[in-house]
Amino acid sequence: MTDKIMAILALATMIASVALVAVFVPDIDLIIVITLVSLLAIYDFWQTFRAKSN
């Protein structure tokens, strides 16, 4: 259970930090890249914990 909490906290921290960059540097290309990277991280998180539960 602790590993899930730590992973969620790490994912939230990563997304918050890159979102902060997107807020202060509002370039559309940067926002697209940040969105794609965040979606890939969320997908990896989902796949990793789905595989462990099976």
Question: Residue 26 belongs to what domain range?
Answer: 2-53
Query: What pLDDT, on a 0 to 100 scale, did the predictor assign at position 38?
Result: 96
| pLDDT for residue 54 is more than 80 | no
Query: What pLDDT, on a 0 to 100 scale, did the predictor assign at position 49?
Result: 85
Helices (H), the chain: 2-24, 28-53
pLDDT digits (tens, 9 = 90+) for 8-37: 999 999 999 999 999 999 999 999 999 999
Domain total in the chain:
1
**31-46: average pLDDT:** 95
